[in-house]
Structure 1
Amino acid sequence: MDLRIFTEPQQGASYDDQLAIAQRAERLGFSAFFRSDHFLRMGAGDPLPGPTDAWTTLAGLARETSTIRLGTLVTSATFRHPGILAVQVAQVDAMSGGRVELGLGAGWFAEEHAAYGVPFPEKRFGLLEEQLELITGLWGTPVGEKYSFAGKHYQLTDSPALPKPVQRPVPVIVGGGGPKRTPRLAARFAAEYNQSFPEKSDIVPQMNRVRAACEEAGRNPDDLVYSVALVACVGKDEAEFTRRAAAIGREPAELREHGLAGTPAEMVDGLGALAEQGITRVYLQCLDIRDLDQLDLIAEGAMAKL
């Protein structure tokens, strides 16, 4: 099982907070540090220090880490023009020596768009589909050739399709629980299909839809990585677990039901159940970004035993 650390910096985290957890995750042997791409805190609480831009942050981390992979879960198609996003991701990939992955989604949080003056069209799936085609098309165009794109939402004319990322290709992550269109996008464009915070009983049926879409598209379903993102909350004993649950505003029983929570042994059991369902990668959502001791406990008490 491949374990990755996933954070939500819009809830209140500086660049230095993110650097600290990314460097600790790297030292402990987690394979990747991922962050959300949001500009507004969700729910009540202190919004300070305010949002940090995902790709600016990852560019900094690219130069201050050396082995851990870096990415978004997920960048919203509403935030950036895909031509510019292709340049940004390719540059951060080069800055990291080829350690970047792009998670891309349609976007959903209307309030953050209103707060920062970002258009939020009612229908966004078409934006996402064109962005996936356009970005992978730019990266896949041979050096010296030009790339043009004529879509409903975006048009490119004779782009030099530069810069190129170090990785060929950069892994693209497509996620979501849609029964038809999302599986088709994953089959067509993705290296990884992710389900974020699914009901555990829904994981296998949705994976089967993606596998069927791959077969329909003539792609081997086993080419895809199948992953989930679940909240992680672990304590060395019940008292520490309960304290950590309270710190993130969650109930212990609810965390046990929907996340990977409890003692390290319980986390191991939960990861084992996911592996039996065919999941090979898990994003551990760490909501208390400053609680680096929890990463130590997960690494020693759970990851080391896998």
Structure 2
Amino acid sequence: MDGKPRLLDQVREQIRLKHYSIRTEYVYCEWVKRFIRFHSYRHPEEMGAAEVEAFLSDLAVRKNVSASTQNQALAALLFLYKQVLQLDLPWLGEVVRAKKPSRLPVVLSLAEVQQILAQLDGEIALAANLLYGSGMRLMEVMRLRVKDVDFMRGEILIRDGKGMKDRVTVLPRCLVEPLKTHLTLVKARHNAELKEGRGDVYLPFALERKYPNGPWSWAWQYVFPAAGLSVDPRSGRARRHHLDEKRVQRAFKAAIKRTGIVKLATPHTLRHSFATHLLESGQDIRTVQELLGHADVKTTMIYTHVLNRGGLAVLSPLDRA
């Protein structure tokens, strides 16, 4: 029992050394705790392929989790053994990864997107419009910094996106003025906080040491800051974080309900719709791939399947009758 906190501290240390996000840190630690608890608090060094397989099987059979959740658990355990315990894994090949089902993404029509966006207001509406207008992921919008919005070039620079990659995407022209108005209000609040001796934000990758005044600068502020202060779980400092993504998710769900649309859509569906609608308008698939930040064009190709109408564009014989 005494070794459990020390082991989790080692996991956290390795995650921070590799600059993984706070979310990954939390999720990996939770999986490690569940794995140890499942095997009656045995130390992971005493276990191997059989115990990992038993844990993953229990998740699939008894807990009925999805393939992606099962693979997430496996990734956390492999990180534990490889990076933290630094053990050779001759049994790695024996661990069976769950096969993800091949599913087409849910896509909204242009009319449906307009109906949903019309139900939103304020900063939530602006964030949702950016999701659809730029193809960004929800957390990319939430973590967006003022310095990464280029009004002159009409583009948004996304830093450290999925896979720790930077990319550039489009800033919709119709959002330029609303975004400028929004930032004027954010800046006024930021200036007021500076006068009170606050106004600092989190900087990634030890940039706070490189730029001592960076956390207080306007350039590093979040485009969508939270309404109140919160405690940084790593540093313990009280500062203003970005807008809670759950607010966007709840507002989006309520908006869909009001429109009567029956599709199982989430804010991420706006990203799928962005890609599909670009391809429908004749945009080159390689361009769409770059805007979405896909490493492989095969990932982007899934949207070409969504473009098909009525079973691979076949005219039903009933329509000929």
Same-fold status (TM-score > 0.5): no
Q: Which structure has the highest strand share of the two?
A: 1
Q: Which structure has the highest helix share of the two?
A: 2
CA radius of gyration, larger in: 2
In which range does the TM-score fall when normalised by the shorter chain? under 0.3
